[in-house]
Amino acid sequence: MSVESNLKIKMTLALLLTISSEGVVAYIIASFLHLPFIIIFIFLGIFWLIQWLISPYLVARNAVEITPNDPYYGWIYEIVRETAMKTKTVTPKVFLVDQPFPNAFAYGNYVTGKRVAITRPLLDILTPEELRAVIGHEIGHIKHNDVEIGMAIGLIPTVLGFISNLLINLGWITLIFAVDESDIIFGIIMLAIGGALFIVTFLLQIFVLWFNRLRESYADLNSVKLFGKDAWNLATALAKIEIYMQNIRLDPFTGIIVTAAPVKVKQTNPDLLVDEWLHKKVSPLSDILSTHPDPAKRVQMIYKAIFTPSRAL
């Protein structure tokens, strides 16, 4: 079976399991609250629309648009334009983001325009060929509508997570300032409901993250489709990003998602690190709580798609 066919089967299975589990949870909540099921969907639809509209302004607040005539960064726009043309998608707007770590990401919507953002450190560590391969990955996200799909399947866990935190905090505050037995009972009930919702949110998030990781692999495959053997530059780009990130500490509360899942590496030579990943036996659970696949899994898949004829696209 080809790499692409294998990925599509897994994505279909992950999506079905995610939608089914979220549907069951939504139905149980609607029944518990005695609400028509359609009300839940209307609420989620409105919430999705609000997220979709405002997220471009929140994701890259310190971003500066790169224009085709930019004397310093116009060449980046040209790479994005050529890659989008090759992918047969509309050229997205290109932004340079002032962040202290190497990263690239696709975002935006049909109102603000689809966008690709690149941070300054990424330009410092990658060759133009490696940057092109990374942009091929990001254009893949735009082509596959991953922003919209990711928001949609993440809606229920996001809402439940918010309610869970609210109830847990309310429960603790009530217990701390309780003045009678009824306050204590109320606080315990809030903690119990919040805790139960937290567990449900965690379980749903496992399915959502699995689907997200598969979409990341699908975007990697887009780069392979575009550039063939030159897409191997994506592997060395991932290695350089991981090496750089060893000295960077990300605040988990900022919600920043980096191009490569953070893993511990001792190697400082990107070519040797790629070779190490190629021969590494990776646990299926190594990235279970990550938005991105383990870099070793990504490199092995890229290698298989490029260099193994029987596994070709």
Q: How far is CA 19 from the centre of its chain?
A: 18
Provide the CB-side half-sphere exposure for 35 (13 A, CA). 14
Strands 63-66 and 93-97: antiparallel
Distance, in Å, from the CA atom of 33 to the CA atom of 108, rounded to the nearest integer, reads: 35
Distance, in Å, from the CA atom of 223 to the CA atom of 227, rounded to the nearest integer, reads: 6
Options 138, 181, 242, 276, the catalytic residue: 138
Q: Is the dihedral of CA 154, 14, 226, 261 positive or negative?
A: positive
Provide the CB-side half-sphere exposure for 124 (13 A, CA). 11
The answer to whether the CB of 68 falls within 8 A of the CB of 74 is yes
The answer to whether the CB of 302 falls within 8 A of the CB of 235 is yes
Q: Show the beta-strand stretches assigned E in the chain.
A: 63-66, 93-97, 104-109, 113-119
Q: Which residues pair with 108 in a beta bridge?
A: 114
Quick one: DSSP state of residue 311? G
Catalytic status, residue 129:
no
DSSP letter for each residue of 271-301: HHHHHHHHT----TTTTTT-SS--HHHHHHH
Which residue numbers are catalytic?
138
